[in-house]
Structure formats: structure tokens, C-alpha cells
Structure 1
Amino acid sequence: MAEFKYAPELTHARFRSPDIVMNELDEASLFVSGVPFWQEQMFYTKGAGIMPWHEETDRACRRLNKHMKVLLLEIETALENKEKPNPSSVTDALGIFLSILFWSNHRPVQLNNLEEQIQTLEIKPLNLEERLLYCLERAHTFLGYTQLKELMLEQRKLIAKTE
């Protein structure tokens, strides 16, 4: 059993390597709960995967958006009930947003030097750097959730404009 460890390009304090067996995951999945950036992991470690940032990007982003809607509803429900949202749901939602952000720019997610990477993106919401930093630090709060939801909405609108 090989321990799962994110590729160096995907290392970030907010996204810890999950405790899973990599061989048990479906390589064709766009989204694997608990393992954000699954396709990037395949790309960076094996030079394989389906690479949705190259082909059918719009379709891949729409599929991720469906997962995001479910996660945001789960987080919102917890916050409305004055409960702390499930940490893995928050991490998955942040991961989906970053995937859609990078994929819509036809690039795989790259978390090392995230701020510099974001500056090079063409399709992105206004003031993304500050807003994303806030979300990464406080996504489990109502204000962090609201900011993430707004960033997602803005990115979807920007994607629609470029189609």
C-alpha cells in the first residue's frame, strides 16, 4: 500500500494529502471527494489522466459545478444551523473552485507559488488574490463561504462570456 502524497506542484498548507490508497481511485474521474486536484495529481506524477484543461474544458467545468452546488448547499445548511461545516466538504469546495479557475484558463492547477500563478491567469474574478486568500483561511465561516460562492458565480459568468 503506497501512501498518497501530492505532487510538488500541488503542495499547499490548505490541502493536505489524504489518507487513501491511490490504486483504488478511478483515473477517469474528474472529481474525487477528499482528493482535490485528482486529475492534476495524475498529470504531475504519471504524465497521464484525462487532462480536462486541454479538451472539453467547458464540459468538465460544468460537471464540477454540479458537485460544487451540492457542497455549497451542505456548507450553507451547516452554517445556518450554527454548526461547523464538514472540513472535507469545505476543502472539496475550495478544490473545485481552484480547478474550475485554472481549467477555464486551460491550465492544470498549480498550488506552489499560488499567488504568482493566479497573477498569470487571464480569466479570473476581480481582486481574486485577496478574496481567495480570505477563502482559504476562513472558508468554514459564513463570510468565507459567501466569498467562495461569489467567486464561483463570477468565474462561471466569465467563462460564459468567453465561450
Structure 2
Amino acid sequence: MSRIAKSLTIVALAASLAACSSVDLNKDANGANSADANGIMDPFNPNSPLAQRKSVYFEFNDYSVSEQYRGVVEMHGKYLVSKPAQRVVIEGNTDARGGAEYNLALGQRRADAVRRMLTLIGVPDTQVETISLGKEKPKAMGNTDADFAENRRADFAYKR
């Protein structure tokens, strides 16, 4: 891919992220004000949207962030930009299907995809760490399609 094509792709992604901003950072899921005294949400407060919406889900065998979850990434990105000392780990996860090595690689690609979106929003790379947990940390323990879907995710894990 040429440099111009890469640059245009990055510009297009950044423009699409800016255009889809629809998350009010001072409101929780019920529309109530969830901001702290400084008007910024707190990922350690269980009532904050940052704590309630900390997962980005993926399709089977995929690591692209769908339009549905871009608002979640943007919400966390805005918070991280406003708090330069805050660090976060993006934990990539997979469902139970596939071998351990394959799932570790896929989980890493999922975490890295979220990280790339955060850097496009303006989050410094030094604030974000990525790790793959593969299939080792499932949210759902069953073997249904719904269980598998619940486990294909990347989670925001803030460091204190």
C-alpha cells in the first residue's frame, strides 16, 4: 500500500470517528449526569458509562471494530485524552473455538485494533498497553452462539 493510500485511509478513519460522535460524556445510560466534580467521568465509578461500557465486541474470526462500537472507543478515548496520567490496558479475548496459539494472535489483533482507534482520536501511545488473553478469560461459560459472541471482545482495564 502506498504512503498516499495509507495517509488517506488514516484521514478517512479519523473523519468517520469525528462524524460519529454521539456519546455525551457527562450522561450515563439513563441520561442522568454521571460526571465527577470536574465534569469528567470516572472509570472506577460503577455508575459511570466508562465502567458500564468497557467492552468492544467482534464478529467471528474478525478484528475490525464495527460502527456499533466506535462510540464506546471514542468515549474512552476522550477520557484518556483529558487524563494524560491515566493508563489503560486493552485486553483482547476470543471465544473457545480454535487453537490456543491462533486465539492468542486473534486476541492481540483485536486489542491492537482498539489501540489504533484510540491513537487516531489523539490518545498518546504511551497511555495504552495491549495484551491478548485469547480464550483464557471468558465472560460466558457455555457453548452457544450467544456465549461465543459474548467472549469475542476487547476490554478496557484501567490501571489505578
- Same fold per superposition (TM over 0.5): no
RCO higher in 1 or 2 (8 Å CA, sep ≥ 6)? 2
Bigger radius of gyration: 2
With the length of structure 2 as denominator, give the TM-score of the two structures. 0.28
Instruction: Compute the TM-score of the two structures, normalised by the length of structure 1.
Output: 0.28
Q: Which one has the bigger strand percentage?
A: 2
